[in-house]
Amino acid sequence: MKSDRLLSILLLLQTRGRVPAHELADRLEVSVRTIYRDIEALSASGVPVYAERGRHGGIELLAGFRTDVTGLTADESRALFILAAQGAHAALGLDAALGSALRKVMAALPAPHRPAAEVTSRRILVDATRWKGGPQRAVDLEVLQDAVFADRRLRLGYRHGGHTEPSTYTVDPYGLVSKAGVWYLVADRRGQPRLFRADRVRSATLLGDPVKRRPGVELGDVWEVLRRQVEERPGGLDVTVRVRRSRLDMFLRLNAASLTALPEDDGESEWVLAHLSYGVVREARTLLAFVDTVEVLSPPEARADLARAAAAIGAVYGGDRAPHEGS
């Protein structure tokens, strides 16, 4: 709607200052000619807006002009009070600021929208953390935040999974991402995108050098590349199993990350075929949790490895053993 677009232009100019007409057109997905017509409409309604042509020109509000108008619709008002990623604001030290900001927004909302926004805040809760995630290592995001907002390089002491000693990296941060309750630093190292779990950062030093990001690349772009690398990483071992129907739901929940496709289920058979993919043979040992209700059909090396692992477990827990010294 034109009224929504005019309000968007006004708010963009208030927050950004001078903005080129072509940038406004790109942001609002209209032509430059439409933007100039909208500027004329704003001016006719009393908004002190003007355009300057030339290489460094753009559209700008008269210095000092501010408006308290929110222009929020009912749905927009409700959306602001659905707090995604519980705990994210606390990790960033912004819990108090968030509460204060929402109180100010509530006071600025048009009166008819306030009841719906208040009810939404009490009836909708989004918790992005996993069930039974276990104890989490305390994460200090202060230095990482400083680097992200100050556009400075970072020197990290970072411990990779399975390593006992940290490695040292100099990185160019793009930003921080919270996914399923886990914080990640998204950065370039030597011009290549890298992902660092914040809870594996053992030391972080803010350097004096300005950050060196790839031109035109934003946090969302890098995150999409890294996310795809993780989710589409090819497995080295394709495993076919049959699962007893009585445990199928739990099996699918706990092995979702390894499934290559949803099982073909006729809804009647006692057993259902499923196909999974693992990086190496030993990763398939997670199937031992379903030893009584899952049978590995192929490949033979996976069956053999699971048999050895099951025999080792039986040797430890299956028979009488001499007590430990001192027990």
Kindly report, residue by residue over 14-23, the tens digit of the pLDDT: 777 889 998 9
The yes-or-no verdict on residue 5 having pLDDT over 50 is yes
- pLDDT value, residue 53: 78
**Residue 288 CB neighbour total at 10 angstroms:** 12
Task: Please give the residue that has the higher pLDDT: either 8 or 319.
Answer: 8
pLDDT above 70: residue 137: no
- When pLDDT is averaged across residues 34-58 and rounded to a whole number, the result is 86
- H/E run at residue 125: none
Determine contact, residues 17/66, Cβ cutoff 8 Å.
no
Radius of gyration of the chain measured on its C-alpha atoms: 28
Q: Which stretch of DSSP H or E encloses residue 263?
A: none
More confident position, 12 or 194? 194
User: How many whole angstroms separate alpha carbon 188 and alpha carbon 156?
Assistant: 12
3-state DSSP call for residue 172?
Answer: strand
Using CA atoms, how far apart are residues 179 and 128, in angstroms rounded to an integer? 8
Quick one: average pLDDT of 75-89?
67
pLDDT for residue 133: 62
Confidence band for 138, pLDDT divided at 50, 70 and 90:
low
Cβ neighbors of 235 (< 8 A, separation 6 or more) are 258, 260, 277, 278, 279
φ, ψ at 165 (rounded to 5°):
-110, 145
> Is the confidence at residue 134, as pLDDT, over 70?
no
pTM value?
A: 0.60
Buried b / exposed e along 45-66 (16+ C-beta atoms within 10 A): eebebebeeeeeebbbbeeeee
Rounded CA gap, 141 and 143, in Å? 6
**More confident position, 4 or 166:** 166
pLDDT of residue 322 exceeding 80, the answer is no
pLDDT above 90: residue 171 = yes
CA distance 254 to 257: 8
For the chain, how far is it from start to end, CA to CA, in angstroms? 78
Distance CA 231, CA 113 (A): 41
Polymer length of the chain: 327
Q: Inter-axis angle of helices 95-108 and 114-123, to 10 degrees?
A: 150
By DSSP bridging, strand 152-158 and strand 167-179 are antiparallel
pLDDT for position 201: 92
User: Percent of the chain, pLDDT > 70?
Assistant: 87
61 vs 59: CA distance, rounded Å: 7
Residue 172: pLDDT band with limits 50, 70, 90: very high
Within 8 A by CB and 6+ apart from 82, the residues are 120, 121, 124, 126
Residue 109 in this model has a pLDDT that exceeds 80: no
Mean pLDDT of 214-231: 90
List the beta bridge partners of residue 278: 237
Q: Looking at residue 319, what is its pLDDT?
A: 58
Q: Which residue has the higher pLDDT, 242 or 90?
A: 242
pLDDT at 327: 44
pLDDT at position 208:
92
In this prediction, residues 239-257 reach a mean pLDDT of: 89
Residue linked to tokens 């059909």: 297
- The 271-278 sheet, strands edge to edge: 271-278, 237-244, 294-298
Q: Count of CB atoms within 10 A of residue 109's CB?
A: 21
3-class secondary structure, 255: coil
Looking up tokens 């009912």, which residue turns up?
A: 74
